A and B are shown apart, each in its own frame.
Chain A
Amino acid sequence: MSAAGRMAAGLTIETQGLTKRFGRQLAVDNVDLAVPHGAVFGFLGPNGSGKTTTIRMLLGLAAASAGTVSVLGQPMPQRLQEVLPRVGALVEGPAFYPFLSGTANLRRFDAASRQGMPGTRNARVAAALERVGLSHAAGKRVHAYSLGMKQRLGIANALLSPRELLVLDEPTNGLDPQGTREVRSLVRSLAADGATVFVSSHLLAEVEQICTHAAIMSAGRLVAQGPLEELRRGGEMRIRLLTPDAGTACEVLLRLGMAPERGDAGAGISAAGISAAGRHGAVGHEAGTHRAGSAGPDGEVVTAGAAVAARPVDEAAGAGNPQQVLPKPDLPHPEDIVAELVAARVRVRGFSVERESLEERFVALTGEGFDVAQ
């Protein structure tokens, strides 16, 4: 983060060159995180990408091999004793003493902190349990809890005292859909109270729904971070064009600065898939190629193109050409593209704009699937 970042002064978590090495393996590689104050920050990455290790370093559980960490404006782990009481954390799943009740567990953790005021302990424990909906099971021993209940208890532990920062590592793990929804609303309400929430997850839908910011880890490296909108925009936008005048269309699109791609859309329709690299040149290109490959067997496109518009083209031995284009930031608006096409006498039979979902972006950045990084 540059001087500009510091001047914003609104960073709740800031790391610079954060690196963790286990023997020869580089678990976290030169990560510069910047979590703005008040953000709900989604920390994304496949399993094994270094998310939890990063969180451990943020919380002073593990020492960084290199780089610096600052949490709530204080260097970590040097000022750990001042910082951690203001931070609630759920790290790598909940862990409790199985033969103590939920209440007893929370009381024990609260007692472990020097700052935990014993006078209000009972009330705070009860309130935290209430907040995660565990009041009914508070007296039960934890070994009788289900995974979801333990998860809730773990979140309750993070909420024992008023916190300025909550670090929740996979908070919805093991929760049923109802619980997942509750956690989401909990996170929103915490953020509404002014807390910064740092949520790590590999579930994109979750992050997309609740986060204002996100960062994406892959194989120990931070590959993207920023406000969610910006991340989405950073992904590819494609237009899909269905036309018998494929050649002309390509020329027009090229002229407009796009990279058209003719593709066979199947069902005998010749197609031109056009893609253009986004901001992340190489990555975008790869992804574009990939999209073109899968566009062909895409039933929906084919059905739409062929059934409604392409049949006459069939006889003309022409081509129904679905074309995909990713506009660069300064590319014309979609309506201008259509206008240009029409002006060039391209018969536009179908036109659509596709934006990547965050999931597609995630896959684009971290590789196909949720394979554990090597």
Chain B
Amino acid sequence: MLAALAAIPVLIAVAVRLSSTVPPGRGPAFLDRITQNGLFVAVTAMLVAVPLFLPLTIGVVAGDTIAGEASLGTLRYLLVAPAGRVRLLLVKYAGALAFCLAAPITVALAGAAIGASLFPIGPVTLLSGDVVQPPEAALRLVLIAAYLAVSLAGLSAIGLFLSTLTVVPVGAMAATVVVSVASQIADQLPQLEWLHPWLFTHYWFGFADVLRQPVLWDSFASNAVLQAGYVAVFGALAYARFVTKDVLS
């Protein structure tokens, strides 16, 4: 799964390398900067991965947490061991969170690596027009990855909850991905504007604020609060469901 994520920046970098110049302003943001600076491969890849690829992998991981064990039948042996239902849930969620962190970092690392090998690396122009040196730019990349990891925490909690509802892991995975896509669509509908600040995908693209000078932390903070809310709500739901669940598989 991480390998698939790492393939995204590689694909972008190779495509940009093979094609002629990218006209500015076309394609995903930052795409035109890649030829000037390989570090932008990482930024572009993360941007491209946010709407679908990252939620997809998170959906697979989070949807599999409980339902996967249930479908294998190993859930009953873990519970009889006894793992303790709350502890098992926490461990599983911690695993999903670890993946949330690993996934964007993988994209960033792979992007920086392939970018460095195919394009020049130099000072990076931020959105504000200021220029930072590569070490500072690398720090910004890490910040973006952290932002995305936080962004995905809410989705993981949703996936965890959905995973406690079923013994069919594919169902929980698909449902998680569908939820993320539905939330993004709802975020685009002006008719649902009142709902937008409550959607867990609302701040997903706010990671660009990390690329401003000085860093705009507002969206980072809002996003963290929002995601914490989702984690609390769906964590509580997952707890209630899993602790009262009859394990019959």
Q: A interface vs B, CB < 8 Å? A: 56, 59-63, 80-81, 84-85, 87, 89, 91-93, 95-98, 109-110, 112-114, 116, 157
A84 touches B80 (CB 8 A): yes
Q: Which 5 A-B pairs have the closest CB atoms?
A: A95-B73, A84-B82, A62-B246, A112-B83, A113-B81
Closest-by-CB residue of B relative to A87 is: B80
Contact digits for B209-237, partner A, Cβ 8 Å, 1 yes 0 no: 00000000000000000000000000000
Cβ contacts under 8 Å, A93 to chain B: 73
Known contacts A95-B73, A96-B74; 7 further A-B pairs (Cβ under 8 A) = A84-B81, A92-B76, A95-B72, A96-B72, A97-B74, A109-B74, A114-B83
- Of the candidates A85, A93, A113, A116, the one having the most CB atoms from chain B within 10 angstroms of its own CB is A113
Tell me the B23-44 residues at the A interface (CB within 8 Å).
none
Cβ contacts under 8 Å, B80 to chain A: 59, 61, 84, 87, 89, 91
Cβ contacts under 8 Å, A59 to chain B: 79-80
Cβ contacts under 8 Å, B88 to chain A: 112
* B87: Cβ under 8 A from any A Cβ: yes
A329 CB to closest chain B CB (Å) equals 42
Cβ contacts under 8 Å, A97 to chain B: 72, 74
* B4: Cβ under 8 A from any A Cβ: no
- Of the candidates B72, B246, B247, the one having the most CB atoms from chain A within 10 angstroms of its own CB is B246
Tell me the B76-110 residues at the A interface (CB within 8 Å).
76-84, 87-88
Interface size class of B (residues with CB under 8 A): 10 to 19
Cβ contacts under 8 Å, B78 to chain A: 109, 112
- A93 and B87 CA atoms in complex are apart in Å by 25
B81 touches A116 (CB 8 A): yes
B72 touches A61 (CB 8 A): no
Cβ contacts under 8 Å, A84 to chain B: 80-82
A91 touches B77 (CB 8 A): yes
A81 touches B84 (CB 8 A): yes
A56 touches B82 (CB 8 A): no
- A63 and B73 CA atoms in complex are apart in Å by 18
B77 CB to closest chain A CB (Å) equals 5
Closest-by-CB residue of A relative to B247 is: A61
B87 touches A114 (CB 8 A): yes
A165 CB to closest chain B CB (Å) equals 12
Selected A-B contacts with CB under 8 Å, 22 pairs = A56-B76, A56-B247, A59-B79, A61-B80, A61-B246, A61-B247, A61-B248, A81-B84, A87-B80, A89-B77, A91-B76, A91-B77, A93-B73, A95-B73, A95-B77, A110-B81, A112-B82, A112-B83, A113-B81, A113-B83, A114-B87, A116-B81
A157 touches B247 (CB 8 A): no
* B20: Cβ under 8 A from any A Cβ: no
- A112 and B79 CA atoms in complex are apart in Å by 8
- A254 and B178 CA atoms in complex are apart in Å by 78
Closest-by-CB residue of B relative to A63 is: B246
A201 CB to closest chain B CB (Å) equals 19
Cβ contacts under 8 Å, A109 to chain B: 74, 77-78, 81
Cβ contacts under 8 Å, A80 to chain B: 82
Closest-by-CB residue of B relative to A27 is: B248
B226 CB to closest chain A CB (Å) equals 33
A149 CB to closest chain B CB (Å) equals 16
- A67 and B78 CA atoms in complex are apart in Å by 25
- A358 and B81 CA atoms in complex are apart in Å by 34
A113 touches B247 (CB 8 A): no
- A59 and B80 CA atoms in complex are apart in Å by 7
* B244: Cβ under 8 A from any A Cβ: yes
A61 touches B82 (CB 8 A): no
- A185 and B81 CA atoms in complex are apart in Å by 24
A62 CB to closest chain B CB (Å) equals 4
Contact digits for B56-74, partner A, Cβ 8 Å, 1 yes 0 no: 0000000000000000111
B245 CB to closest chain A CB (Å) equals 9
- A142 and B87 CA atoms in complex are apart in Å by 26
Cβ contacts under 8 Å, A63 to chain B: 244, 246
- A113 and B84 CA atoms in complex are apart in Å by 8
- A118 and B160 CA atoms in complex are apart in Å by 28
